[in-house]
Structure 1
C-alpha cells in the first residue's frame, strides 16, 4: 500500500513485520557513518515544531504531540539491521494463509456482514479482499505494534537516510492528531510509524481514513467499521474494478509460451484459452478480451493463477512484493469460497542458490538489484532471457538446469 516500501519488522516480530519486510534491505555501514548522532536532535525538533505550526497545525497539537520526544537509537538500529525476507510463495502462503486465519476471517465476514455489504455498495470492494489484508497486516487488529509512532517518525525524520519521506509522514501524523481522529497515546505501531488495523502510513491515514461508525472521528485503531471502510476507500482510489476478479487459480498445460507468463505481461483471456489454460474445476478459460496475466509464483511446475487488473493495479501497489501480494490475493479467494490451491511439484531452490544465480547473472551483465536471494522483477527478467538463450522453458523461475548452464559459462 502507500507506505515506505516494505518497512516493518518480523512479528512484532512475527506477523505484521513478516508481511512488510519481504524485500526491504539494510543500509551500508558507510551511509550509517555519515548520519548525525543524537546530539543535534533537540535543535532539529524545535525547528520542525516551528515548521509544523507554519503549515497550519495548531500550536497546541504540535506542542503536546512532540513534548518530551527523544531520539530513539533502537529505531535507527532496527532500520539499519533490517534484512531481507526471502521465503518462497508456497512457504510464505502456507504460514500466513493458514486454516486458523481462514476460519477467523470467515467468522469476521459473518460478524460484520452488514458493514461489508454497505462498504461494497459504496466502494465496490468485496469483504474477502478486506478481511485478507486485515488478517495479514495485524491478525485482525491483534498485533498493531507498540512503539511510539511519533517518536519513531521524529527519529527517522532526523536521520539522514530518507528524511524527506519521514518528515512528510510525521507532519501528516500531526494532522491526524490535530483533526481529532486519534489520541496521542493511540499513535503506536512498528518502527516506521504505521498505524492502525491496516497499518496505514500517516499520510495514507490522513488522506483516506473515513468515519464509518458515525462518532465524528476516523479511528483506525479501535473502530472496526472505520478501519474496514478506510481500507476500502484506499483500495478504490487505486482503481479497483467492482465485480471483477483479482486472482483465479488455473491449470496450465505442459506446453505454453512460457516467456509470456509474467505478471508484467497482460494478454486477453482468448490467448490463454487458445493454449488450453483451464480453471481449477476443469472449465476452459473464456475466449474473450478480458486482460489477464499468467502468474506462476513457483514456476511452471507450481501453482498457477490468472492475475487481473485488480491484482496488478491494486495488490502490487499495496505491497510490491509478489510473494506477499499473491498470498493476500490467494487468501481473499479462499475467503470468497475458492478451494485450497494445487501446489504442484515445483523444483526446490534455496536462497543460497538464488544468490549464486544472481551473482552469475550479474557477471553476464544483468542488473538484478541487490544480490539477496529474493527473485524480484529484475531477476525474473534476466532469468527469462537466459532461459530463452539456453532453450529452457522461459518461465522466469530459477532452476538447477539454468544454474548449471551459467556455472559452465556456456
Structure 2
C-alpha cells in the first residue's frame, strides 16, 4: 500500500520531523552493502550510490500517514477526479492515441483505464515527486517499521541503476520509492516494466510508451478481463439493510434479486453468475457501486478501495460519462483543485502567510483555515478545506487594508 504522489500533493500530507540521525544511517550502511553484494549488485554500483546518502528525517512520519485511509472519501475523490484532470486526460487520450491503441492490442486494457492510472499517479507526468529514491529507501531500510520491505526496494533500485535503464539522478519520486509516470515501486518495475518503444531500456521516467504499456501489463497480470467493466454506480432499494465490502462476493443475480440496479437504469450486460461485490464507501446513504474482477485488478495497483474508485470513476469520466449521481452524505463536500487554489487566494487576501497558491492543503493552509473557521464561528474549527469555508469566504469582502500577495489576483466577492 503506497500513496500516489499526485494524491499526496493534492491532499497536502502532514509532515513532522522524526528522530533520524546520520550516525544511525552510517551504522546501517555496511549491512546494506553486504546484502547488495550477496544479491549480485556490484561493489562499484553500491559504493557510487548509497554511502553518500543523508538521512531524511521526515520519512518516519509519512510512513504512518496514508491519505486513502485518513481522508474523507468525498475529499479524496474531489481532488483526484475533477474537471481539470478529466480535461487533461482527454487531451492525453488524443495525443497518445496510436500508442494506446497498440497497448490495448498487446495487453487488452482499454486506453481510458491506462490514462486514468496515469492521471491519478502523476497528473499525467506533471508530478513525479521530488525525493531521491536512494535517499528515501536507504533511510527507510535502516529506520522505522517495514525495514525488510524497503531493503528489498533499495536492492531493486540498485539493480535498475546497474542495468543502465534509468540514471540515478532521474530516480526521484514519492517518499516510499514509487517513481515514473505511473509510479512503479522498484521491485514492481523489475517484474513488470516493459520496453515498449524498443530502445533497449525499460524507462518509466522519459518514455511515455514504456510507462503506459507497463501499466497495462501490470493490470493484465493482476487479472484484467478484456472488454469488461470495472463496475457501475447503482441505486439501492428503499430500506436496504444489507452490507457491502469488496470481499463479500456473490453472483450478480443475487444482488439483482435484492433490487439493486444501475443508477441510470441500464441493464448490466454480464452473465448472472459473475462474481460481484457491493461497495458502500460512505455507508448506505452515499453512492453505491457493484464491482467486478477488473476493479480488483485496479485495487491491486494500490490496495485501497478509495484509490481504486478514483481510477475507476476517472476512467468513466474519460469515456464521456458524467459525475456520480448520488451525492455524498455530507453538508460540506470536498473541493476540486481549482477550488482549493481559490480558497488559498482568499486566505492570502486576508493576510495569511500560506506560501504560494498551489492547490495543496498543507500545514500552513490548514492553520489559516482553522483561524478563519474560528473567526466565522464554524464548528468544528478543524482546518479542513471544504465547501463551507470556501463559500463563507467568497460571500464576504476581504479586509480593505490587506493587499493580496504579489502575483495573486484579488478575489471578487461571490467569485464563481
Superposition TM-score, scaled by structure 2 size: 0.72
Distance 1:46 1:117, change over 3 A: same
What is the aligned partner in structure 2 of residue 394 from structure 1? none
Alpha-carbon distance between aligned partners in 2 of 1:273 and 1:150, rounded to the nearest angstrom: 51
Alpha-carbon distance between aligned partners in 2 of 1:298 and 1:183, rounded to the nearest angstrom: 43
Alpha-carbon distance between aligned partners in 2 of 1:262 and 1:73, rounded to the nearest angstrom: 37
What is the aligned partner in structure 2 of residue 49 from structure 1? 33
Distance 1:208 1:301, change over 3 A: same
Distance 1:336 1:52, change over 3 A: same
Give 3-state SS (helix, strand or coil) of 2:218's partner.
Answer: helix
What is the aligned partner in structure 2 of residue 374 from structure 1? none
- Do the aligned partners of 2:251 and 2:275 also contact (CA within 8 Å) in 1? yes
What is the deviation of 1:46?
A: 2.9
Per-residue deviation, residues 70-100 of structure 1 (Å, max 9, x unmatched): 2232334544677885333233222210111
Alpha-carbon distance between aligned partners in 2 of 1:81 and 1:309, rounded to the nearest angstrom: 29
Per-residue deviation, residues 378-397 of structure 1 (Å, max 9, x unmatched): xxxxxxxxxxxxxxxxxxxx
Distance 1:42 1:101, change over 3 A: same
Structural mapping, 1:327-342, within 5 Å: 327-342=310-325
Q: Which runs of 5+ in 2 are unaligned?
A: 334-416
What is the aligned partner in structure 2 of residue 6 from structure 1? 2
What is the aligned partner in structure 2 of residue 204 from structure 1? 188
Alpha-carbon distance between aligned partners in 2 of 1:328 and 1:185, rounded to the nearest angstrom: 29
Alpha-carbon distance between aligned partners in 2 of 1:94 and 1:77, rounded to the nearest angstrom: 25
Structural mapping, 1:136-285, within 5 Å: 136-256=120-240, 258-285=241-268
Distance 1:316 1:161, change over 3 A: same
What is the deviation of 1:302?
A: 2.0
- Do the aligned partners of 1:144 and 1:199 also contact (CA within 8 Å) in 2? yes
- Do the aligned partners of 1:8 and 1:191 also contact (CA within 8 Å) in 2? no
Per-residue deviation, residues 231-258 of structure 1 (Å, max 9, x unmatched): 11111111111111112122232143x3
Alpha-carbon distance between aligned partners in 1 of 2:34 and 2:72, rounded to the nearest angstrom: 47
Per-residue deviation, residues 118-164 of structure 1 (Å, max 9, x unmatched): 11111111111111111111101111111111011111111142211
What is the aligned partner in structure 1 of residue 84 from structure 2? 100
Distance 1:333 1:156, change over 3 A: same
Q: Which runs of 5+ in 1 are unaligned?
A: 351-410
User: What is the aligned-residue RMSD (CA, Å)?
Assistant: 2.9
Question: 2:295 matched to 1:299?
Answer: no
Distance 1:230 1:72, change over 3 A: same
Give 3-state SS (helix, strand or coil) of 1:73's partner.
Answer: coil
Aligned residue pairs total: 332
Alpha-carbon distance between aligned partners in 2 of 1:267 and 1:139, rounded to the nearest angstrom: 35
- Do the aligned partners of 1:221 and 1:227 also contact (CA within 8 Å) in 2? yes
Q: Pick from 98, 122, 141 the counterpart of residue 106 of structure 2.
A: 122
